Amino acid sequence: MSRFVRSERQKLADLLLELGPDAPTMCVGWDTRDLAAHLVLRERRPDAGLGMFLPPLRGHARSVMRDLSGRPYPELVDLVRRPPLWSPVSNPLLEGLTNTLEFFVHHEDARRAQPGWHPRELPAADQAALWRPASAIARLRLRRFPAAVLVQAPGFGEVSTGAGGEPVRLVGAPGELAYFLSGRQRATRVQVDGPTALSDRLRTAPLKI
């Protein structure tokens, strides 16, 4: 299991218990109970997890989510804390790919919805672990953005993406870039350089898949 994923999982579970079931999150319409239920559904109910991507299964996913949300909150958080023995998204072969951003982003979703949040000072090894998927989703999610986009994480790397045109530069720590590129632009600390209209468009673009 990825050390970073294991650490983020435990920190998120600790925070969910600390905040309780009714705290806000950065996921629109979700409180901490909903966030915990989502994580459990994703890992333990792949039949319902497909509903996140396949419209015919969305009703089934909502039904399973409601059932999970009805469980006692400490029990729900314990299921987040303890990964299943095997899951399509939580297994030794794939976990670094499938769970690095999942647990980091949702940990930050719970953190950054609370008053007085500030970016964490992550060790270089953790930032490097985040840069790998962040650079990949930069290429994927910004490939059609109408500019020549340079995404830079000083000390870790840079990628060029976008559909071409006027240059726009997105600069930040890997964790901040990962959170920005997950569609949470308004709650990140990054630098965007370029024409005002394009910079504003990047800050409000629907970046979620």
Q: What is the pLDDT of residue 16?
A: 98
Q: Are residues 148 and 68 in the same domain?
A: no
The CATH number covering residue 141 comes to 3.30.1050
Query: Both 94 and 153 in a single domain?
Result: no
Is residue 103 located within the same domain as residue 43?
Answer: yes
Mean pLDDT of 152-177: 97
Residue 208 or residue 23, greater confidence: 23
pLDDT tens digits, one per residue of 10-59: 999 999 999 999 999 999 999 999 999 999 999 988 786 676 777 777 88
pLDDT number for residue 58: 80
What mean pLDDT comes out for the span 64-74?
Answer: 92
**Are 65 and 164 in the same domain?**
no
Q: What is the mean pLDDT of the chain?
A: 92
Give pLDDT tens digits for 73-121. 999 999 999 988 888 888 877 778 889 999 999 999 999 999 999 999 9
Last residue of a domain, one of 72, 90, 112: 112
Q: How many domains does the chain have?
A: 2
* pTM for the structure as a whole: 0.92
Closest listed residue to residue 30, CA positions, set 42, 39, 22: 22
The better pLDDT of the pair 205, 58 is held by: 205
pLDDT at 1 over 70: no
- Is 118 domain-assigned? no
Choose one of 62, 86, 112: the last residue of a domain: 112
Residues 61 and 149 in one domain: no
- The range of the structural domain enclosing residue 97 comes to 3-112
Over residues 173-195, the mean pLDDT reads 96
With H, G, I as helix, E, B as strand and everything else as coil, classify residue 40.
helix
Indicate the Cα dihedral angle 140, 143, 144, 150, nearest 10°.
Answer: 130
Percent with pLDDT over 70 in the chain? 97
